Structure 1
Amino acid sequence: MAGLDFHKALKTAKKTCPSSTSSYESLNSTIFKTLNNSISPPLPTPATSAVTTAETASLLSNLTSNKLNLIISDPNVETSVCLRIFDFLCKNQSLLSFKPDLHANLTLICRLIKSRKFDDAENLLKNVAVDQNYRYPFSSLGNWAENYCKESKIITKLMNMMLKVYSDHQMFDMAYTAFDYMKNNGIQIDERTCTVHLYALISSDQVGLSLKFFQEMADTGIEVSVFSLTVMVNGLCSIGELKMARKLVEEMTGREVKPNIVTFNTLVDACAKRWSFEELDLVLILMKKEGIEFNDSTYKFLIDGYSSFGKIEEAERLVLEMHDKGFNVNRYLYLSVIKGYFRLKNVKGGVSLFNKMQDRGLSPNIDMFRSLIDDLCKIEEMETAEDLVIKMQKKGVELDEVIFNTLMADYRKSS
């Protein structure tokens, strides 16, 4: 019942400012008519709503900042009604003689926070913290909170929300100012908000700043989560600082922040892809020390890294170990290692693993046959390629055009 809500809101405001009765009644009807257009079925239109466009413009132009603040701050007016009034006025800004000031914005934001309407509060906060037409310096926002907001929980949420808004819009200097303000004024800092800031810094290639911020988080006494640690480790790995990432994990374990499998997999993947096997060995030692077991992703990262580098026997050992431990080993992992053998022209090793795969109950499909036959043809191992074709046909897999053309092309080259 939007119209009734507005009528109630503006009647309350009328009682507060009795000299403005006619203005509020007319404003009530103007807003009612506007909102009523979006309601289906329409609400009964009050008699006072029949105002002309000229009257609407006149009424809005006579509205003052003080009158708006009285409505926004009145506890008898529902927060949702205040938000709709405020939104209506902002959309008709050209008809007003003023802009809703910082006091009106932050009063409504705090009311929205108290009502747990956090998304609406954050959207409004963007106007005064980020939007170039309305932006206020952080000092003004902080001063307002000190002078007008008396509830510590609301101040805490407001300041953390500011930090998030600044981070989301890459205003990193202002984000740090908000963080520093909270730290110096004993305002509880939400670790999840700090993680958002870390992620924003890393996404903007500001890994150095993110590491500095992370260290300050830890030094400030914020209870750093393993998620924040993993975000930081991922950022360091993305720029090749593998040793620094591992050292950070070691440091945080000393602060009782226990890394999990995701943290270690981030390190393992980075080391394996960069063929940094000396560092990888240290990571695996640390992983064992912390009692973290490999999962299927750990194996995959290691197998891919060893295979691409040429450490094929180590890659094969891990594939078979996965099977022995009951992991679901797919054809891709076998294919990666077998192709690695063929790449090194160790055909015997590749064929041996191909047979072991089948012994463990995993049958090759047409794509696998096609890929391996192509590799064998490239290294001119035509006899082995023919053997694979025979095995393929015995399994009921038909010789397709791609494999046939591959064989014929290599026969022509060798003739």
Structure 2
Amino acid sequence: MSLQNLLKTLKTVKRSHRPNFSPTPKPYREITQIISKPLKPSSASKPLSATTTTFLSNLNPTTLLHVLTDPELKSSKCLRFFNFLLHNQSLLSFRPDLQAHLTLICRLLRERRFSDAEKTMKSDLVCQNPRYPFSVIASTVVNCCNDPKVIAKFFNSMLKVYSDCKLFDLVSQDFDYMKNNGIEIDERTCTVHLLALKSCDLLQLVLDFFYQMVESGIEVSVYSLTVVVDGLCWSGEVKRGRELVEEMIGRGIKPNIVTFNVMVNACAKRWNFEELDLVLLLMKKERVAFNDHTYKVLIDGFTSSGKVDAANKLVLEMHDKGLKVDTHLYNLIIDRYCRLGSMDGAMSMFGEMTDRSVFPNTDTYCALISGLCKAGEMGLAMAYVNMMQGKGMEPENVMFSMLIDGFCNKGMVAEAFEVQVLMEKKGFATDLTVCDKIVSGLCKLNRFEEAKRLLNVMVKRGATPEIASFTMPFDI
């Protein structure tokens, strides 16, 4: 017999000895019909077919697990089918158990459908009151999956879900379980938990969990350290934050500029300059250079506390380092010089600003003009008003009021009245107390007609004749 005839004979024998059975049909048609409908079918919807109803009534836990793990059925369809079963349990002869839930969740995680997996955990396993104790979940999930990477993702996802639901005791149980069983802990998930604790103002729990992270041996990032330092500084524990940073440096966790800026900002806002010096010294020791944000928070803190010369030096330092100095920073310093009555310093800073091609805005001129008006330098104040108008910026209500008040205080009532008239033409209402000063001054200058017109304006705005009449020698 030839080789070809031998092979042909063997194939015929193999076919004749095959067992005579038909494979178990896949329930795709029935499942497809189910998941194509809403989770809670309305009375107007088409009822399920008899085949599908029979399929559901004959469904059991073992069959359900086969469906959920069938590689030929997409995980998205498995999820929709499972959700349908949970919402229509009257159609079943059993209640899907924990193993079914975990089997589906592990499959979603294996296929990197992390959002769906976490939503399923939250709705089916946690809810408002945890349906299953953590110990039961932990002992069951290992029977549903033997992939170490999926198991690790499962417990890290559970930690995040517990944290989102503010079940912080369960977070600790989950973390301890992973640590004790050699399951890889995701540092980023732990950081999310630190943020959740911080948002609830649970500062001691933040510190406790952070130290758990450090002691567990996972590689703690500077971001996690910064979250904890920010929580301490926000609560006023700036010194404690700095000491934590120093401790972590000894453990190999290096702070970055963001970490330092958190501490610098806390010190500057609280005018805690003694602690600020220690933070800046630590920055220098760790060779972490200032960035533009560091300068901004320092300048803000120095100007608000009256340390204007120190703020001025920082601006010059920014220029030397090629950092951008915006108008707002100059305004802070100019405004503080003006409030302190140091108009020479304010105008010098204004000159520095224009020399550096940093353009002043309305706030810049408002600060300068306010300071000059208080100092009685009305000629210079009007010069800056003209300069401002020459650049296309017009005075507003507040600035007009400052000018009028300044002129009145200098006894320059005629000039105050001219500004008041201009102010009214531009649609701004003069403050009644300021008007009263002008009326009184006009009367002293025997300019009664002008005083009378202004008094009429005051009356229309609500001032009673009794209030203002003492300034006038005639009836309104």
- TM-score normalized by the length of structure 2: 0.74
Alignment counterpart, residue 159 of structure 1, candidates 152, 155, 159: 155
| Structure 2 partner of 1:232 | 228
Alignment counterpart, residue 119 of structure 2, candidates 115, 119, 123: 123
Q: Does 1:192 align with 2:159?
A: no
| Structure 2 partner of 1:84 | 80
> Do the aligned residues in 1 keep the contact of 2:346 with 2:368 (CA within 8 Å)?
no
What amino acid does structure 1 have at the position aligned with 2:197? L
| Structure 1 partner of 2:200 | 204
The residue correspondences of 1:44-83 to structure 2 (distance < 5 A) are 52=48, 60-83=56-79
RMSD of the TM alignment (CA)?
Answer: 2.6
| Structure 1 partner of 2:167 | 171
Query: CA 1:201 to 1:396, structure 2 compared with 1: closer, same or farther past 3 Å?
Result: closer
Instruction: Pick which of 68-77 and 340-349 moved more.
Output: 68-77
Between the aligned residues of both structures, percent identity stands at 52
Partners of 1:84 and 1:92 lie apart in 2 by 12
| Structure 2 partner of 1:32 | 32
What amino acid does structure 1 have at the position aligned with 2:324? N
Query: CA 1:104 to 1:408, structure 2 compared with 1: closer, same or farther past 3 Å?
Result: same
| Structure 2 partner of 1:269 | 265
* CA displacement at 1:388 relative to structure 2: 2.0
Alignment counterpart, residue 254 of structure 1, candidates 235, 250, 254: 250
* CA displacement at 1:371 relative to structure 2: 3.8
- Give structure 2 stretches of 5+ with no counterpart: 1-21, 39-45, 412-476
| Structure 1 partner of 2:370 | 374
Alignment counterpart, residue 95 of structure 2, candidates 96, 99, 102: 99
> Do the aligned residues in 1 keep the contact of 2:35 with 2:77 (CA within 8 Å)?
no
> Do the aligned residues in 2 keep the contact of 1:129 with 1:138 (CA within 8 Å)?
no
> Do the aligned residues in 2 keep the contact of 1:31 with 1:88 (CA within 8 Å)?
no
Query: CA 1:402 to 1:103, structure 2 compared with 1: closer, same or farther past 3 Å?
Result: same
Query: CA 1:182 to 1:72, structure 2 compared with 1: closer, same or farther past 3 Å?
Result: same
Rg comparison, structure with higher value: 2
* CA displacement at 1:118 relative to structure 2: 1.3
Instruction: Pick which of 283-292 and 60-69 moved more.
Output: 60-69
Query: CA 1:375 to 1:53, structure 2 compared with 1: closer, same or farther past 3 Å?
Result: farther
The residue correspondences of 1:289-304 to structure 2 (distance < 5 A) are 289-304=285-300
Partner SS for 2:408: helix
- Give structure 1 stretches of 5+ with no counterpart: 1-14, 39-49
> Do the aligned residues in 1 keep the contact of 2:341 with 2:371 (CA within 8 Å)?
no
* CA displacement at 1:61 relative to structure 2: 4.7
- TM-score normalized by the length of structure 1: 0.84
Instruction: Pick which of 352-361 and 402-411 moved more.
Output: 402-411
Q: Does 1:142 align with 2:138?
A: yes
Query: CA 1:62 to 1:258, structure 2 compared with 1: closer, same or farther past 3 Å?
Result: same
Partners of 2:150 and 2:347 lie apart in 1 by 68
> Do the aligned residues in 1 keep the contact of 2:260 with 2:279 (CA within 8 Å)?
yes
1:37-92 superposed Cα distances (whole Å, 9 cap, x missing partner): 69xxxxxxxxxxx9657886675455333321231134454433322321332343
What amino acid does structure 2 have at the position aligned with 1:178? D
> Do the aligned residues in 2 keep the contact of 1:268 with 1:298 (CA within 8 Å)?
yes
Instruction: Pick which of 91-100 and 244-253 moved more.
Output: 91-100
> Do the aligned residues in 2 keep the contact of 1:166 with 1:172 (CA within 8 Å)?
yes
> Do the aligned residues in 1 keep the contact of 2:366 with 2:399 (CA within 8 Å)?
yes
Partner SS for 2:188: helix
Partners of 1:286 and 1:344 lie apart in 2 by 32
Instruction: Pick which of 79-88 and 355-364 moved more.
Output: 79-88
What amino acid does structure 2 have at the position aligned with 1:320? L
Alignment counterpart, residue 317 of structure 1, candidates 313, 320, 327: 313
What amino acid does structure 2 have at the position aligned with 1:232? V
Partners of 1:402 and 1:384 lie apart in 2 by 18
> How many corresponding residue pairs?
383
Partners of 1:352 and 1:125 lie apart in 2 by 64
Q: Does 1:387 align with 2:407?
A: no
The residue correspondences of 1:358-369 to structure 2 (distance < 5 A) are 358-369=354-365
* CA displacement at 1:401 relative to structure 2: 5.5
| Structure 1 partner of 2:327 | 331
> Do the aligned residues in 1 keep the contact of 2:319 with 2:325 (CA within 8 Å)?
yes
What amino acid does structure 2 have at the position aligned with 1:185? N
Partners of 2:257 and 2:187 lie apart in 1 by 21
> Do the aligned residues in 2 keep the contact of 1:339 with 1:372 (CA within 8 Å)?
yes
> Do the aligned residues in 2 keep the contact of 1:129 with 1:166 (CA within 8 Å)?
no
1:333-363 superposed Cα distances (whole Å, 9 cap, x missing partner): 0000111111111121111111111121223
